[in-house]
Amino acid sequence: MAVVADERGSTLVDAGQSPAHAREIQAGLAAAGLPEPRWLVYTHHHWDHVWGACAWPGVEIVGHEAGVAPLRAEAARPWSHRYLREQVRENPLLGHSFRARALAVDCWDGFAVLPPARTFADELTLPTGVLVRHVGGGHAPDSAVVLVPDSGVLLLGDCWYPPPAHLRRPEDGPDLAMARGLLSDDVDWYVSAHDEPVRLAEARAALTG
């Protein structure tokens, strides 16, 4: 996840993978004396990006409209360690994701999956200038990228990654065409959610050879 600090209110990009993870970030924000978060932008609806949301009271949650239905469905499931185990028994392909969820959450008291309160179809600009733009793609239909214009950072979430393991077909790979389409001279840093940040020149060299 990322924090875009701003005197008008900070923006969180993704919520952390659990309430405990969110609280670690909160301790970091307090230690650094950064302004309170006011917005929480979901890059997409996958659990490891949204399960910390219930530990961020007082933020407005922003997400693409295609994420609402899957998040409502996730919110209605009776999450517990027992439920996770039963689900994996029924569908072993869920093992990778559901075992990780079980490790991430040690206590389910007060846990909730929260759909976005404010949605958008194409793009949305927060009062701080942070721009959220829908890109969709095979990883998640609601994938959005977040541009922080005054620092030249583009936060990519998981947008160009292959679909999650339980939905992946043998022919699925990273969406390099999408990644290429995001190359821009307005961006200095590309930040994927599960990789090291790369500079524009590095991204361009990797994608265009």
Q: Measuring CA to CA, which residue among 188, 194, 186 is closest to residue 160?
A: 194
**Nearer to Zn ion (CB atom), residue 21 or residue 46:** 46
Residue 198 CB contacts under 8 Å (≥ 6 apart), including other chains: 189, 190, 206
Alpha-helical runs (H) found in the chain: 19-32, 47-50, 68-75, 81-90, 95-104, 176-181, 200-208
158 is a site residue for Zn ion (CB under 5 A) = yes
Q: What minimum distance in Å lies between the beta carbon of 19 and Zn ion?
A: 19
Q: Which stretch binds Zn ion (CB under 5 A): 51-59, 73-81, 113-121, 152-160?
A: 152-160
Q: Which stretch binds Zn ion (CB under 5 A): 18-26, 40-48, 97-105, 121-129?
A: 40-48
- The 42-81 site mask, x for binding Zn ion (CB under 5 A), equals ----x-----------------------------------
**Nearer to Zn ion (CB atom), residue 82 or residue 99:** 99
Task: With H, G, I as helix, E, B as strand and everything else as coil, classify residue 126.
Answer: coil
Give ∠ CA 119-135-159 in degrees, rounded to 5.
Answer: 105
Q: What minimum distance in Å lies between the beta carbon of 119 and Zn ion?
A: 18
Instruction: Report the interface residues with Zn ion, using CB under 5 A.
Output: 46, 158
